[in-house]
């Protein structure tokens, strides 16, 4: 456990900012944490993402980039930077639906906890948030293993032709739907 190092994502457009990501398995206290989150008493503030419909770390990174851009421009659509990250994972402009689909729910046994610009203390607090749960060392592999392709398909609706070899991939389809959502 002491050897665990959280994944930190960087953003070329925001060199001073980063996103700390920890993927947990065998979560047992999702409901408690969620209650605190909704009561806005969860410390530190984090984004609690449902990893099952997330295609890849790249998708998470794009959603985070968009959230940072909106934050810097004072143009957040949701209340906080962290809820914006969750909302930005959605291909739809429907806010409640986006938060419900891509946020952790109270029965979740897996969660992707994310925090922007986390200090060491913040990272430690994130690890302590889910007692008994197992943080996954390789986030990328862990996410791929947990991914529910049917859910990805349902939420992002990638077309059959666009995912054909030589034309594009499911990841491409997901990226474009996240990246271009605001103009679709």
Contacting positions for other proteins (CB under 8 A): 11-15, 58, 61-62, 65-66, 69, 72-75, 159, 161-162, 164, 166-168, 172-173, 175-177, 179-180, 182-184
Nearer to other proteins, 129 or 173 (CB): 173
Q: Alpha-carbon distance 49 to 54, whole Å?
A: 9
Smallest separation (angstroms) from other proteins to the CB of 98: 17
C-beta closer to other proteins: residue 27 or 89: 89
Q: Please, which residue, 10 or 40, has the CB nearer to other proteins?
A: 10
Instruction: Considering the complex, state which of residue 34 and residue 64 has its C-beta at the smaller distance from other proteins.
Output: 64
The burial class, CB within 10 Å (0-12 / 13-18 / 19+), for 20 is: buried
| Radius of gyration (C-alpha) of the chain in whole angstroms | 16
Residue 20 near residue 118, CB atoms below 8 Å: yes
Which of 32, 8, 64, 18 has its CA nearest to residue 133? 32
């Amino acid at each position: 456990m002491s050897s665990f190092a959280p994944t930190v994502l960087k953003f070329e457009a925001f060199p001073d900012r980063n996103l700390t990501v920890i993927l947990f398995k065998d979560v047992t206290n999702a409901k408690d944490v969620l209650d605190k989150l909704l009561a806005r008493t969860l410390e530190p503030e984090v984004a609690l993402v449902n990893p099952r419909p997330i295609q890849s770390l790249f998708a998470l990174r794009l959603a985070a980039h968009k959230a940072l851009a909106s934050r810097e421009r004072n143009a957040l659509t949701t209340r906080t930077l962290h809820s914006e990250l969750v909302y930005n994972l959605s291909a739809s402009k429907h806010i409640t639906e986006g938060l419900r689909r891509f946020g952790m729910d109270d029965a979740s046994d897996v969660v992707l906890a994310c925090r922007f610009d986390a200090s060491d203390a913040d990272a430690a607090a994130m690890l302590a948030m889910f007692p008994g749960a197992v943080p996954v060392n390789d986030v990328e592999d862990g996410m791929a293993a947990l991914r529910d392709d049917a859910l990805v398909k349902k939420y992002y609706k990638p077309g059959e032709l666009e995912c054909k070899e030589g034309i594009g991939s499911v990841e491409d389809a997901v990226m474009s739907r996240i990246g271009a959502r605001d103009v679709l």
